[in-house]
Each structure stands twice: as structure tokens, then as C-alpha cells.
């Protein structure tokens, strides 16, 4: 009985469908037309709506790599503090007045984390892996030696060491961080508003967008229509491949190398340069040149690199060729002092015991002068026993050179921002104190009264020359912001800051010495 009703329902449904297809109602046709118009609208000018994509969680438990300074409370942050993975970097050392200039000494990888062999890393350092070392820097000593006796940069290749955070410069950190895959922040999704009015299929497409492709499944498009009365367009030349895309073609290498041309000797060069000159021109003695070259080569062969054994039983007084500081003290000094000490050890191994520096006339307003610093003066300075006037003069010359780098070599350019320096050698107490013995040749054959008069005249002339230099220098520096006069008396240093525009002098004295102790210098300055 149940099958009977099912069969009857099927027959009735088929009859209704056949009647609807033969004579469809107008309401149904209108709805179908609206639906087709909406689909055409979606294909021609779809309306776009920006829907933010779902954000991935910022961190996941157990997968986040700690930053290189996550546990430190430093106020100053450096790029290496924000890394969460190993990043290529350059290791530098700093020098200059304010340690703003840098020099590359090695390359490597900056490693995140605050542990080094199970111990906490000092706040000012981070962990790096050294890959290459610049030639000449292999013997630079590390601030914190590594395990297994790693004490120099050359020994640290392919090893982990601690390096100052501010002296680690990341290589393309911004580009590498942007190259990491990240989910898109926005997705463009077309949506159709049912409230928009229906449009016919002849609607013009958007002027800034191409018409929709009639092949939704990526089929081949039909060729463009060309008029039979016009010439077909000329084919466009294909673009040339870039240099990067060019395929390198292997070259045939001959197993026989060409014989290299021998370098021209000094005599040959001299002969070629002398063509057309007088036949009486001087010739070069090749034997002398060869002998001097052999001496240089022999000296270079004798240069000895410092080793850890040299720092055993360091003497308490200066001994040529022995270290200026103990190994424990050398670890605590800046990198520049370590490099200077390393150079001293090499230079002393071949008999060098002094450093000479030429002072140009315009530096301290005077004639050209040469400063000579002995290695013993360096030992006294590093062990805080005595600061020689030659070393202070070199320091003042370095300050002058830094100003020329900043403002140019023309002394009149930015004169109000510059500082003038008086020559510490010329204004020290030993150089403005007149001394003469009675056995001097200028006093021979004179009576006692004549000797006293002669000594007073010589003293006035001596002090006049001294005052003339200071007066001439201050006249040249009158447009400067200040004039610095490092003054030495009785192995003690004070510094005068003279402000010519306001007529004031600032005295820096660590011992608060009474002004009467340097009254002679004040009288020359007319203070």
C-alpha cells in the first residue's frame, strides 16, 4: 500500500514540472533573471572588501629562542640585543677620542642567549662565533679568554667567544628579518552585495582593471583580432638577459702556464726614466739597494710574536724586550692598549726602543718639531708612575688632528668651534726656567759683578722669547672657542683652559696646588 502512494506522488510531481516548463509563472522568471544578473555583475565589476586574516600567535611555549640580552637590565640597547637566531656579523674595535671610529678585525655569527658554557655572560658582552679574522689581527688579545686556552682572535676561529655588544655590527639584519616567511596581514576577497541593483552583461568594465577572462579554468585565450587591411605588427625583440642570469661558459685551460715577466730592476727603471736626459746624470748603486733590502728582510725575519711564556715573571722595572704589563693587567685594558702593547713586543724583539713623531708648524703655532717617546716612558705611563711631556704632546697633536678631520684642514674654517693648543714642550717649567752655570763660555773672563749683570740680561732674553711664543700663539687663537695649555711642573700636570672671548681661565688641578707654585707661568700669561 505504501508503494502505491509513492508512485502516485511521483506521477503528480512529474506532471507539475512538465506544466511549469511548458507555461512558467512570471514571478519565477523574474527571480531567475535577477540571479543571472547578479552573477554577471560578480564577473564584470566585483566589489572588493578587505578582511583581516587570522593572526598567528606571537609566541609558542617551548619554541621561542631567547634574545641575547633578555635577562639583562641595560639601559643602552644594541642591534645584537634583538636577535632570536644566529645572524652574520662583523667584529670591530673602537679608537679615537670618543671611541666613535671603528676598525673591522673579524667576521662571525652573533648567537642569542645569555649563557656561555653554563655560566652567565657579563652584561656588556654577548656570545659570537668567529669565522674569519682580518690579516694582521690574529694576535689581538681577547678581553675574556675562552676555554681551552683561547686568548687571541687567531685561536678563536671556528670557536665561540665573548665580544662587547656595542662592537658587534650585524650584516643585513633588516633584510634577513624581512625575508622570513610570515602570514599575510590582509587578504582581498571579492563579495557581492545582494542589495546592489542588477546590471546587464553589457556593462563597461572598470577603466583601471582588465576585463574578466572568458576562460575561468585557465584555458588558452583567443588570439587578438587583426584587420586584413593592415600590416601585422612587427615582432618585439626579446629582452636581453641580465648579467646574473647569464650562464657561465667553461673555458679551456691550458696545462702550460705562460712564463711570467720578470720584474724590472731598479737599474732598468732608472735607465728608462733617464732616456733623453743628460749623460752625466747620477746612476743608482744596485749593490747598496740590495744590501738595504737584505737588512729589511733580515729584520722582518727576526720579528718575534709575543707568546704566553713571555708574561711569566714580568719584572717590576722596565727591561727592554719584556712586557710592560702583567698578563692579568693586560686583560683589563682596552683593545687599543692591547694592540699597542703587542706592537711594542714585536718592535722590541728587533731592537727598536723609541717612537718619533713629526709635529707640523701649524699644529701648535711654531716651527716644525720632532717628538721622541722611549719605551721606558711608555712603561712609566702604563704603570701609573710618570707621564712624560712627550706623551702629552702627542696626545695634544692627536686632538688637533681630530679637529682637522671634523672641520677640515683650513684653520680659519669653523674657527669658533675649534680649540687651540699650546705646545706642552715649550711651556713646561723646565723650558721657561733659566739656568746657567758660572763655567759657561758666555761668562768667561768677566768679573763677579759683570757675571751677575750678564746672567740677568740672558734671563730677560730667555723669558722674552718664551713669552713671545705664548703671545703669538694666543694671537693666532683669538677666534677660537678656548685655548688649552697643558702645563707640567715638578712632575705634576695641570691644565689651563683659556677663554679669550670672555677673558676667563679655568684651571684643572687634581692636587689643588697653590697658585704660587706656578706663578711664573701666570706672570707670563699676564694673569
**Domains of the chain by residue range:** 79-178, 394-524
Q: Report d(CA 176, CA 163) in Å as an integer.
A: 22
User: Tens digit of pLDDT per residue, the chain (527 long)?
Assistant: 556 666 777 777 777 777 777 777 777 677 766 766 665 455 544 444 443 444 444 444 444 444 444 444 446 889 999 999 999 999 998 876 667 788 899 999 999 998 998 889 999 999 999 999 998 888 888 888 887 788 889 999 999 999 999 999 999 766 544 444 444 444 444 444 444 444 444 444 444 444 444 444 444 444 444 444 444 455 555 555 554 455 555 444 444 445 444 445 555 555 555 544 444 434 445 556 566 666 656 555 577 888 888 888 999 999 999 999 998 898 888 888 888 998 899 899 888 999 999 999 889 988 788 999 999 999 999 999 999 999 999 999 999 998 888 888 888 888 888 899 999 998 888 877 777 776 777 777 777 788 888 888 888 888 888 888 888 888 889 889 899 999 998 889 999 999 988 888 999 999 999 988 888 888 877 75
Q: Report d(CA 162, CA 110) in Å as an integer.
A: 10
Pairing of strands 482-489, 419-421: parallel
**Hey, CA dihedral for 194, 198, 199, 200, is it positive or negative?**
positive
Q: Report d(CA 44, CA 46) in Å as an integer.
A: 6
Q: Pick the closest to residue 117 from 151, 82, 157, 148 (CA basis).
A: 148
Q: Which residue has the cell 696626545?
A: 395
If residue 216 lies in a helix (H) or strand (E), which one and from where to where?
A: none
Cα–Cα–Cα angle for 509, 514, 519, rounded to 5 degrees: 100
**Hey, CA dihedral for 331, 334, 337, 342, is it positive or negative?**
positive
Q: Which residue has the cell 628579518?
A: 177
> What's the pLDDT tens digit per position in 391-450?
999 999 999 998 888 888 888 888 888 899 999 998 888 877 777 776 777 777 777 788
If residue 419 lies in a helix (H) or strand (E), which one and from where to where?
A: strand 419-421
Q: Residue 93: what are its φ and ψ, rounded to 5°?
A: -120, 155
What lies within 8 Å, CB to CB, of 472 at 6+ separation is 365
**Secondary structure (3-state) at 373:** strand
Distances (CA, A) of 90 to 104, 105, 134, 166, 363: 7, 8, 11, 11, 36
Amino acid at each position: 500500500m505504501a508503494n502505491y502512494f509513492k508512485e502516485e506522488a511521483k506521477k503528480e510531481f512529474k506532471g507539475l514540472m512538465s506544466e511549469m516548463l511548458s507555461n512558467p509563472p512570471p514571478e519565477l522568471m523574474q527571480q531567475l533573471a535577477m540571479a543571472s544578473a547578479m552573477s554577471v555583475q560578480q564577473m564584470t565589476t566585483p566589489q572588493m572588501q578587505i578582511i583581516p586574516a587570522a593572526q598567528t600567535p606571537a609566541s609558542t611555549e617551548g619554541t621561542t629562542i631567547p634574545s641575547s640580552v633578555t635577562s639583562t637590565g641595560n639601559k643602552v640597547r644594541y642591534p645584537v640585543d634583538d636577535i632570536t637566531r644566529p645572524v652574520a656579523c662583523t667584529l670591530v674595535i673602537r679608537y679615537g677620542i670618543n671611541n666613535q671610529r671603528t676598525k673591522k678585525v673579524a667576521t662571525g655569527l652573533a648567537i642569542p642567549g645569555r649563557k656561555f658554557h653554563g655560566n652567565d655572560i657579563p652584561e656588556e658582552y654577548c656570545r659570537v662565533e668567529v669565522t674569519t679574522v682580518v690579516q694582521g689581527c690574529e694576535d689581538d688579545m681577547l678581553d675574556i679568554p675562552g676555554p681551552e686556552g683561547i686568548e687571541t682572535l687567531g685561536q678563536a676561529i671556528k670557536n665561540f667567544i665573548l665580544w662587547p655588544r656595542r662592537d658587534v655590527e650585524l650584516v643585513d639584519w633588516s633584510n634577513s628579518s624581512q625575508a622570513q616567511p610570515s602570514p599575510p596581514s590582509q587578504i582581498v576577497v571579492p563579495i557581492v552585495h545582494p542589495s546592489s541593483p542588477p546590471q546587464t552583461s553589457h556593462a563597461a568594465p572598470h577603466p583601471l582593471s582588465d576585463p574578466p577572462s572568458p576562460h575561468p579554468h585557465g584555458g588558452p585565450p583567443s588570439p587578438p583580432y587583426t584587420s586584413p587591411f593592415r600590416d601585422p605588427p612587427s615582432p618585439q625583440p626579446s629582452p636581453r638577459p641580465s648579467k646574473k642570469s647569464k650562464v657561465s661558459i667553461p673555458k679551456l685551460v691550458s696545462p702550460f702556464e705562460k712564463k711570467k715577466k720578470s720584474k724590472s730592476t731598479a737599474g732598468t727603471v732608472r735607465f728608462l726614466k733617464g732616456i733623453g736626459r743628460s749623460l752625466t746624470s747620477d746612476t743608482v748603486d744596485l749593490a747598496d739597494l740590495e744590501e738595504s733590502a737584505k737588512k729589511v728582510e733580515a729584520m722582518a725575519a727576526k720579528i718575534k710574536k709575543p707568546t704566553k711564556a713571555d708574561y711569566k715573571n714580568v719584572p717590576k722595572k722596565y727591561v727592554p724586550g719584556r712586557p710592560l704589563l702583567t698578563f692579568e693587567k693586560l686583560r683589563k685594558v682596552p683593545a687599543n692598549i692591547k694592540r699597542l702593547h703587542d706592537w711594542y713586543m714585536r718592535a722590541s724583539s728587533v731592537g727598536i726602543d723609541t717612537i718619533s713623531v713629526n709635529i707640523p708648524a701649524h699644529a701648535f703655532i711654531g716651527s716644525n718639531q720632532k717628538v721622541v717617546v722611549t719605551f721606558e716612558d711608555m712603561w712609566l705611563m702604563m704603570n701609573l708612575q710618570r707621564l712624560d711631556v712627550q706623551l702629552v704632546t702627542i696626545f695634544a697633536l692627536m686632538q688637533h688632528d681630530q679637529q682637522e678631520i671634523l672641520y677640515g684642514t683650513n684653520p680659519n674654517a669653523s674657527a669658533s668651534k675649534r680649540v687651540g693648543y699650546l705646545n706642552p714642550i715649550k711651556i713646561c717649567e723646565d723650558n721657561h726656567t733659566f739656568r746657567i752655570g758660572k763655567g759657561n763660555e758666555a761668562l768667561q773672563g768677566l768679573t763677579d759683578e759683570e757675571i751677575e749683570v750678564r746672567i740677568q740680561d740672558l734671563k730677560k732674553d730667555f723669558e722674552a722669547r718664551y713669552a713671545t711664543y705664548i703671545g703669538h700663539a694666543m694671537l693666532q687663537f683669538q677666534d677660537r672657542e678656548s685655548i688649552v695649555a697643558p702645563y707640567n711642573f715638578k712632575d705634576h700636570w695641570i691644565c689651563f683652559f683659556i677663554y679669550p672671548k670672555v677673558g676667563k681661565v679655568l684651571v684643572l688641578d687634581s692636587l689643588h696646588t697653590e697658585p704660587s707654585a706656578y706663578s711664573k707661568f701666570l706672570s707670563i700669561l699676564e694673569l
